[in-house]
Every structure is written in structure tokens, then in C-alpha cells.
């Protein structure tokens, strides 16, 4: 440093430690099928996952589910219901508490569109008892544990 130059005062607060984020994922059900798409994001690249994303400030889980499905697929959802929550430490840098919502399409004839092609290779309906592989890790864990998103009655 040159003579007389002012030294920048040291920052008073240290950088915040990483925090878990809140995710919302949607089991969108049509008959015995569920909507899945192949992920293109770095987290879980090339695995099949539910539509979803991160909860925004002030949103309800149902609002987030509705927004994310619309943004990603163009589909309008109906009959949103809370199902369960899981704690997912996905990597050293990604820790998500994920809230799972069940819903149905408002119009069963409406086709899902790939509206975020940088994040998803395409959406399709899959039979619950014949799911594609590989599933996104947190979803695979749920399936392995025997979780079933369909209503029992």
C-alpha cells in the first residue's frame, strides 16, 4: 500500500453461514400417473423430479406450488393439499427442507409445456408403479421408504 493511502475499514460482520432453503415440490396426479421432468439444473442433473422450486418471501406453500407448476409447465393446478415435509442434505452446499404438495390439473386435457428449457428437458406423465430412472435423490428416498402420494379413498 502506498504511503498515505486510506485502508478500507475491516467489515464488521462476517459472511453469513449457508442456511437451508425451503423447497416446494408438487405431486401433480392424473389418474394413476404423476408428472415428472428430467432435470437440467446442476443439482440432480439428468434425474427425474417433480415440478417445484423455492418458497418466496410471504408465499403460502399452496401459492408456491401453483406458481412453480405454472412457470415450469403452463399447467393450472387444483385441489392443492399438503402431504409431507422432508429434510434433504443434497450436497455440501445444498440443504433443502422440502414441502410436498399434492394437486390435480384443473384441465386434464391440457398438455404440459417445457417453459424453462434450461432447467428441464421435458415433462411427461408416468405410471406410479413404473417410474422412470434415475429419480432425483430426495424423490427416490421417498419411493424407497414406501411413500405413496395418491389419496387412499
Ligand X SMILES: Nc1nc2c([nH]c(=O)n2[C@H]2C[C@H](O)[C@@H](COP(=O)(O)OP(=O)(O)OP(=O)(O)O)O2)c(=O)[nH]1
Nearest CB to ligand X, comparing residues 6 and 112: 112
C-alpha cell at 4: 498515505
Interface positions, 117-146, toward ligand X (CB under 6 A): 119, 136, 138-139
The minimum distance between CB 99 and ligand X, in angstroms, equals 9
b (16+ CB within 10 A) / e for 107-128: eeeeebeeebeebbeebebeee
Nearest CB to ligand X, comparing residues 6 and 87: 87
Write the burial class of residue 25 (CB in 10 Å: 0-12 exposed, 13-18 middle, 19+ buried).
buried
- Is there binding between residue 35 and ligand X (CB under 6 A)? no
Nearest CB to ligand X, comparing residues 53 and 112: 53
Coarse DSSP helix, strand, coil percentages of the chain, rounded to the nearest 5 percent:
15, 35, 50
Interface positions, 77-106, toward ligand X (CB under 6 A): 88, 96, 98
List residues binding ligand X (CB under 6 A): 23, 25, 41, 43, 49-54, 88, 96, 98, 119, 136, 138-139
Amino acid at each position: 500500500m502506498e504511503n498515505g493511502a486510506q485502508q478500507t475499514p475491516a467489515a464488521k460482520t462476517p459472511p453469513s453461514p449457508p442456511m437451508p432453503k425451503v423447497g416446494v415440490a408438487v405431486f401433480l396426479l392424473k389418474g394413476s400417473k404423476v408428472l415428472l421432468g428430467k432435470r437440467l439444473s446442476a443439482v440432480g442433473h439428468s434425474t427425474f423430479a417433480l415440478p417445484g422450486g423455492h418458497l418466496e418471501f410471504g408465499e403460502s406453500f399452496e401459492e408456491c406450488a401453483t406458481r412453480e407448476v405454472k412457470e415450469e409447465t403452463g399447467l393450472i393446478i387444483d385441489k392443492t393439499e399438503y402431504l409431507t415435509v422432508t429434510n434433504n442434505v443434497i450436497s455440501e452446499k445444498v440443504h433443502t427442507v422440502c414441502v410436498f404438495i399434492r394437486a390435480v390439473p384443473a384441465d386434464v386435457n391440457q398438455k404440459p409445456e417445457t417453459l424453462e428449457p434450461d432447467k428441464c428437458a421435458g415433462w411427461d406423465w408416468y405410471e406410479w408403479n413404473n417410474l422412470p430412472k434415475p429419480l432425483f435423490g430426495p424423490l427416490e428416498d421417498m419411493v424407497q421408504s414406501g411413500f405413496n402420494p395418491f389419496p387412499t379413498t
